[in-house]
Amino acid sequence: MGKYMTNQRRVLLGYLESHRDEQLSAKEIAESLKQDGISQSAVYRNLSALEADGKVHRFTKGGDRESYYQYLDCDECHGQLHFSCCGCGHTFHVSEKVADVLSQALSFGEHFSLDKEETVLYGLCGQCKKKAKVTK
Amino acid sequence: MGKYMTNQRRVLLGYLESHRDEQLSAKEIAESLKQDGISQSAVYRNLSALEADGKVHRFTKGGDRESYYQYLDCDECHGQLHFSCCGCGHTFHVSEKVADVLSQALSFGEHFSLDKEETVLYGLCGQCKKKAKVTK
DNA sequence: CTAGTTGCAAAGAGTTTGCATGGCG
DNA sequence: CGCCATGCAAACTCTTTGCAACTAG
C-alpha cells in the first residue's frame, strides 16, 4: 500500500479481509465504504496501490466492463489459480494439486507455461452444476 | 450478423477472417477499417451482432478495460479453449486433447465444469519462454 | 417501398487525475 | 514541518444509443 497507514486504509483492508472469498467490484467496495466517509477516489487509488503490492488481484469477468478485486492476504493465495463460477459468481481457489495437473498438461502438450496469477477459469461450480441439471 | 449483407459487413468479416489468429480490440479494428469508410459505431454494432451469432468471441484480458474479439468461423474453433501469451500477445487454440485433460482434472479434483468458451488461459508460449530464459 | 443499417455526435459507465486541503510521522 | 493521502469534480477511455439520412432486398 502507500507509506502512511491512514484510517481509510485500515478500513479498506478490513473490508477486503472480511470478504476474502468474494470477487468485489470497485463500485461495490466504494458503495460499502461510503458510509465510513471514504471517497470513491480513495477507494480506487488504494485498490491500485494494493494491486501494485500484490495484495489484491484485479481482473475482469467475461465481457464485463468493470474490474473486480479479490484480497490475497495469505501466501498460499499468492500465485494461486482461480476459478470463477458463472452461476453464483463465487471465486474459488483451485487446489495446487489440480492446478499443477493443468500446468503440466499445458506444458507437455503445448509447451505453454501457465501464469496462474493472471488466469481465471470460468465455468460452473459443483452446486450450480446440480442446480442447472435440476432446472432442466 | 444482421439481415442485409452490406459492404461494411463484408469488409469487417474479411478483416476478421484474415486475422483469425489474433485477439483484436474493437479500437484496433475500428482504426484499421476507418480507411474503408467504416464508422466506429458500425464496427461496434456489427461486432455485437457477430458475437450474438456466435461468430466472434468477445472477452477481456487481465485487468484491461477494453474488449477483445476473435473470429470463430470454423466449427472446430467454436467452444475451444484459448491460450493468450502475455509475451507476444498471440492467442492460441489449446488442442482438444489437452483441453480435455484440464477439463477432466477440474471435474474430478474440484467438481467444477469448465466453460471453454469463456475461459482464456494466460502465460507464455513456447517461443516467449525461450526468449525469457535467454534474456535473463 | 420498408425495415434494417449507417454516421454523427452526444450520452453512459467505469476509472483516473489535477489541485487545493488536510493529516501521518 | 514535509510529504503523502484525500475529496471533489472534471477529464478520460471505451462503448452504447438517438436520430435522421440512406440502402439492400
Show which of A74, A90, A122 is a domain's final residue.
Answer: A74
Query: Which nucleotides in chain D have some atom under 7 angstroms from a protein Cβ?
Result: 4-9, 13-18, 23-25
pLDDT score at B106: 92
pLDDT score at A79: 67
pLDDT score at B107: 93
pLDDT score at B81: 86
Q: Which of B77, B69, B61, B63 shows the shortest CA–CA distance to B28? A: B69
Predicted confidence (pLDDT) at residue B130 exceeds the cutoff of 70: yes
Predicted confidence (pLDDT) at residue A10 exceeds the cutoff of 60: yes
Q: Which residue range is the domain that position B61 belongs to?
A: 1-74
Q: B130 and B85 share a domain?
A: yes
Residues of A with CB under 8 A from a CB of B: 51, 58-65, 67, 83, 85-86, 92, 94-95, 97-98, 101-102, 105-106, 109-115, 118-126, 129
pLDDT score at B103: 92
pLDDT score at B112: 94
pLDDT score at B53: 85
| Distance (Å) from the alpha carbon of B19 to chain A's nearest alpha carbon | 20
Query: Which CA distances in Å does A111 have to A88, B68, B104, B130?
Result: 33, 24, 20, 10
Nucleotide nearest to A34 (CA to C1'): D7
By Cβ distance, the residue of B115, B118, B123 closest to A113 is B123
Show which of A47, A74, A101 is a domain's final residue.
Answer: A74
pLDDT score at A65: 82
pLDDT score at A92: 82
Spanning CA of A62 to C1' of D24, the rounded length in angstroms is 35
Nearest residue to nucleotide C17, by CA–C1' distance, is A41
Q: B87 and B47 share a domain?
A: no
All three cell numbers of A104, joined, read 503440466
Predicted confidence (pLDDT) at residue B136 exceeds the cutoff of 60: no
Q: A69 and A117 share a domain?
A: no
By Cβ distance, the residue of B65, B120, B129 closest to A113 is B129
Average pLDDT over residues A9-21: 90
Q: What distance in Å separates the CA atoms of residue B19 and residue A118, rounded to the nearest whole number?
A: 25
Per-residue pLDDT of A23-67, as tens digits, reads 889 999 999 999 899 999 999 999 999 988 888 888 887 667 889
Predicted confidence (pLDDT) at residue B62 exceeds the cutoff of 90: no
Q: A16 and A62 share a domain?
A: yes
Give B99's pLDDT tier (boundaries 50, 70, 90): very high
Q: What is the CATH number of the domain that holds A124?
A: 3.30.1490.190
Bridge-based pairing state of the strands A82-85 and A120-124: parallel
A106 → chain B, closest CA residue: B98
Mean pLDDT of chain B: 85
